[in-house]
Structure 1
Amino acid sequence: MKLISEKHKQTLAYPALLMGIVALIVCSLLLLMNNLTAQPIADRQREDLTKLLDQVLPSNAYDNQPLDEKYQITIEGQEFAFYRAKLEDKVSAIVLFTQSAGYSGDISLLVAISADGALSGVRVLSHTETPGLGDKIELAKSDWILDFNGLSLSNPDKTGWAVKKDGGQFDAFTGATITPRAVVKCIYATLGQFQNNKDFFLQTDKAATLP
C-alpha cells in the first residue's frame, strides 16, 4: 500500500510539504557543515592574530594572553575593539583596532600602545589602495609603517604628525600622498583617544565600564 496516494500528490499541500522537507534537509546539512568548520576557522583567525600581536608587542612586555582580554569601548559614538596586555597583573599595553578612509576605501589598522602612551607598533590589516603606490603602507612592501615605533602624542609635536608635504615628518609616497596622510592622521587620533580614555584602557577589572 502506498503511503501517499496519487490523489494526495495532486493536492496543493503535497508540493509545499515536499519543498519543506527539502528545505529542512538543506538547512540541516548547512548547519552540520557550519559546526564542522566554525572551530577550525576560529582557530586559524586566532593564530593569525597571535602572529600580528607578536609583531607589535615585545614578548617581555606581557605575561598574560592578550587575546583572552578583549574589550569594547565607545568613543564619540564609534565602537572600538581592543585587547589588554598585562605584566605582573598590570596593564602594560593595549592593542586597538581602528580604521581610516584612504584613497580608494577604508584602511584597517592594528595599533599597539604602551601604558606610557608610546606606540609599540602599528600594522595594516587590510586596505584597497592602489597597488605599487598606496600599498607601501604594508610592511611586506616597505618599512614605512615602522617609522611610528616609539612615537607618542608629544613625540613629535602636533605639527610633526603629518606627511612632509604638509609640514610634518613622515614620508609620503610618490603619486599617493592621500594614503600615508590618512594613516598618519588615524594613528595620531588613536593616540589622542588613548590619552583621553587612559583610565579605562588601563583598568584591570574585567567588569570595568566607562562612566
Structure 2
Amino acid sequence: MSTSAAKHLDALWYQTVSLGTVTLLAGAALALAHTATGPAIAAAEARDVAASLAQVLPENFHDNDLLADTVSIAGPDGRPLTVHRARQGEAVVAVIYQMTGKGYAGPIRLVMGVDRSGTVTGVRVTGHGETPGLGDKIEVARHPWVLAFAGKSLEEPLPARWAVKKDGGEFDQFAGATITPRAVVAAVRQGLELYATQRSAMLGDDAPAAPARAASAATTEEAAQ
C-alpha cells in the first residue's frame, strides 16, 4: 500500500471515529437535557390541563383530584380519549374531556364539561389557528360567545337546532367567520352525543347515584369565570 493510500485510510478512520464520538456526545447531551427538563415540562403541562378543567367545572362542584381521576374510552375517531371524572364523595357528578372541530385554518381543540344529566357545564377553546380578529372570537378572553354553551344539552336545543343561526340553528355566528363557530358548535354537539353513547363507560357502571346538583349549569359557568 502506498504512503498516500495509507494516509487516506488513516484520515477516513479518524473522521469516522470523530463523527461517531460527536454523535454519542450529542445523544448523551440530549438525554441529559431531557432528564433535567422532563419533570418541569410535565409539571407545566399538568398545570395547563388543571387550569382548563377548572374553567369548565369549578372546584366547588367537586371534591376530588380531576387530574388523577380519569378513565380512557374510545373517542369519535376510535383513538383513546382521556375523560376526567368529577366527584362529590364517591358519586361521579360530571365528566370533562377534549373534542376537536374542523376549523377554517385547521383543527380547533376544546375542552368541555358535562354533568351527569348530559348538560354542558362549560366549554373552552384550548387551541386553534383561526384568523385573528375574526375566528379567534371563540376564545373566551376575546369574546363571551363560547359561554352560550353552558346549560345546553341534546334536548335543549333539539338536535336540529344545534347549528349556527345562518344554518337554521340557535347559535350566533361571527360576521365574516361562519366556518369557525360552525365547527365549534358541531364539536360540542358531537361531544354530547359521545356522552350519550358512552355514559356508562365515562361514569362507571358501579357509580352510585349522583347527589342533587349544587348549582345550575349557568351558575357553574358564572363561577368558572
Contact 1:123 1:145 in 2 (8 A): yes
Aligned to 2:178: 177
Provide the TM-score with structure 2 as the length reference.
0.83
1:21-52 alpha-carbon deviations (Å, 9 max, x no partner):
11111111111111111111111111121111
Report if aligned partners of 1:162, 1:170 keep a CA contact under 8 Å in 2: yes
When residues 47 and 29 of structure 1 are mapped into structure 2, their CA distance, relative to the original with a 3 A threshold, is: same
> Hey, what does 1:18 align to over in structure 2?
18
Q: Map 1:34-183; keep pairs closer than 5 Å.
A: 34-75=34-75, 77-79=77-79, 80-183=81-184
Per-residue displacement from partner, 1:98-137 (whole Å, max 9, x unpaired)?
Answer: 1011111110010111111110110001111111111110
Alignment partner, residue 208 of structure 1: none
- Is the Cα contact below 8 Å between 2:76 and 2:194 reproduced in 1? no
| Relative contact order higher in (CA < 8 Å, ≥ 6 apart) | 2
Q: Distance in 2 between matches of 1:19 and 1:156?
A: 65
Asked if 2 retains the 8 angstrom alpha-carbon contact of 1:91 and 1:204, the reply is: no
Contact 1:8–1:14, Cα closer than 8 Å, also in 2: no
Secondary structure at the aligned position of 1:182 is classed as: helix
Which one is further off, 38-47 or 79-88?
79-88
Name the CA distance, whole Å, in 2 between partners of 1:144 and 1:106: 19
**Are the aligned partners of 2:119 and 2:152 in contact in 1 as well (CA < 8 Å)?**
yes
Moved more, 122-131 or 83-92: 83-92
1:7 and 1:162 map into 2 onto residues whose CA distance is: 76
Q: What is the CA distance between 1:176 and its match in structure 2?
A: 0.6
Counterpart in the other structure of 2:218: none
Change (3 A) 1:182 1:45: same
Which amino acid in structure 2 is aligned with residue 72 of structure 1?
S
Whole-Å separation in 1 of the counterparts to 2:88 and 2:48: 23
String of CA shifts for 1:28-83, please: whole Å, max 9, x gaps. 11111111111111111111211111111122221110101233221454222221
- Which residues of 2 match residues 3-14 of structure 1 at below 5 A? 10=10, 12-14=12-14
Query: Is the Cα contact below 8 Å between 2:66 and 2:86 reproduced in 1?
Result: yes
**The residue matched to 2:67 in structure 1 has which SS?**
helix
Q: Name the % identity.
A: 40
Match of residue 221 from structure 2 = none
Query: Could you say what the CA RMSD is over the residues aligned between the two structures, in angstroms?
Result: 1.9
Q: Which amino acid aligns with 1:49?
A: V
CA distance in 2, matches of 1:77, 1:57: 25
Counterpart of 1:17, as a letter, is V
Q: How many residues align?
A: 200
Tell me by how many angstroms 1:9 deviates. 8.0
